[in-house]
Structure 1
């Protein structure tokens, strides 16, 4: 019996390699389709009373460019971001109970009036953080540590999905969902893609990724409780094997 084919869409760095190994260990045939290239801007966060990081990538780039907390309150959206900070030896003062930008706004809303807040993240973040904190009275500055671009080689999974050749597909960020469907639209394959995905188990990390898929009229079958890739892969493959 052939192994299930599961497409994994991750940045074209060590994360795609780790994902392939993880899927192989779970007994499926991984279809690697790197869908993001991370392009550092060379900027680093400004000094502020509160400094917010939204991704482990942002933490790594900030530290590489010489960032240190300077006594400010360090905030992380999610456990992976917090772990990245701790791995560099920095304490994390605030992690929202709900691992979203809205959750962090709620956590900080009664603390940041007339305080300086630095948001260090990609150039593609939503306005939820900036608007929410400004409405709470904070003086907000945002530093774009990196941009996300689509690799010229991306798109193998789009073709396979449109042909109904995938048993599962793993979406790991809203931007990846956007690029995935952008490729389909460029190829005029959107209708075929939606038909193909109707018979594919779709896994997504986090509510923002799930929402991005739903905007494209795609049903998400698996959304784990955490934002870790391992749980996403395990639960998606369990779902595939149960059919």
Structure 2
């Protein structure tokens, strides 16, 4: 039996390196094919909010002025209660000297909204994130009575030359695909279109095991004609990759 080939679409930084290492630890062959690149906007979050929400490690590094791609003055949250949408973001905040006081049990926008409901009526809430943030977060906090301001810290774009995994799928040689957002799905399909192999890539993907993070990503994939086999039980790449590889070949990585 040949090794499972597992396509991972993380940004081309330590997240992609970690994904490769994880897939290898599962005994499979990673197919790194980054579908996201970061373009900082140079914007900084407001410093007069009652609550400040960060949604990604990239955002944290940018506001802290520690990102390699851009240097800026360090953001000061003042007296704001700092919130992180998940443990990775919380860890990044701590590494940069911030104190995340609220991390939802469910690592999603809706999970954070649920944790903030009842706390933010009349409060000023700053949301600092990418240009592809879920509207669920803003709408939910506004519905809870807060005054919400969004700062777009960076744009997410598809890297030049991405799409090698679409070639593998079209050839029937891709066993697993792990989509971490709706944008990775959209960009993967655009890459296949660019190479003129969309139909063949979709057909190949129908014979692979497809895992996604979250219901919004599943809905995007389904709308594009991609059959999703698994929605990760926890919104982390580690859980997504492990559960999808296990589904593709039970006990394969044990």
Q: TM-score, normalised by structure 2?
A: 0.87
- 1:127 and 1:113 map into 2 onto residues whose CA distance is 19
**Which stretch shows the higher mean deviation, 230-239 or 55-64?**
230-239
What 5-or-longer segments of structure 1 have no aligned partner? none
Classify 1:25/1:135 alpha carbon distance in 2 versus 1 (closer, same or farther; 3 Å): closer
Q: Which residue of 1 aligns with 2:21?
A: 21
* Divergent runs of 4+, >6 A: none
- 2:142 and 2:239 map into 1 onto residues whose CA distance is 35
Number of residues of Structure 1 aligned to a counterpart in Structure 2: 243
Task: Determine whether 1:149 maps to 2:157.
Answer: yes
Quote the offset at 1:239 in angstroms.
2.1
Q: Which residue of 2 aligns with 1:57?
A: 58
Quote the offset at 1:78 in angstroms.
1.7
Q: What CA RMSD, in Å, does the superposition of the two structures yield over aligned residues?
A: 1.9
Output one character per residue of 1:32-53: Cα deviation in whole Å (capped at 9) or x when no partner: 1111111111222111111011
Q: Which residue of 2 aligns with 1:78?
A: 86
Instruction: Check whether the contact 2:108–2:235 (CA below 8 A) recurs between aligned residues.
Output: no
Q: TM-score, normalised by structure 1?
A: 0.91
Q: Which residue of 1 aligns with 2:168?
A: 160
Quote the offset at 1:227 in angstroms.
2.6
Trace 1:182-221 onto structure 2 (pairs within 5 A): 182-221=190-229
- 1:103 and 1:23 map into 2 onto residues whose CA distance is 28
> SS of the residue aligned with 2:190?
helix
> SS of the residue aligned with 2:150?
strand
Output one character per residue of 1:180-236: Cα deviation in whole Å (capped at 9) or x when no partner: 112233444333222211110112223332232222222222332223322222222
Classify 1:153/1:194 alpha carbon distance in 2 versus 1 (closer, same or farther; 3 Å): same
What 5-or-longer segments of structure 2 have no aligned partner? 66-71
- 1:102 and 1:19 map into 2 onto residues whose CA distance is 25
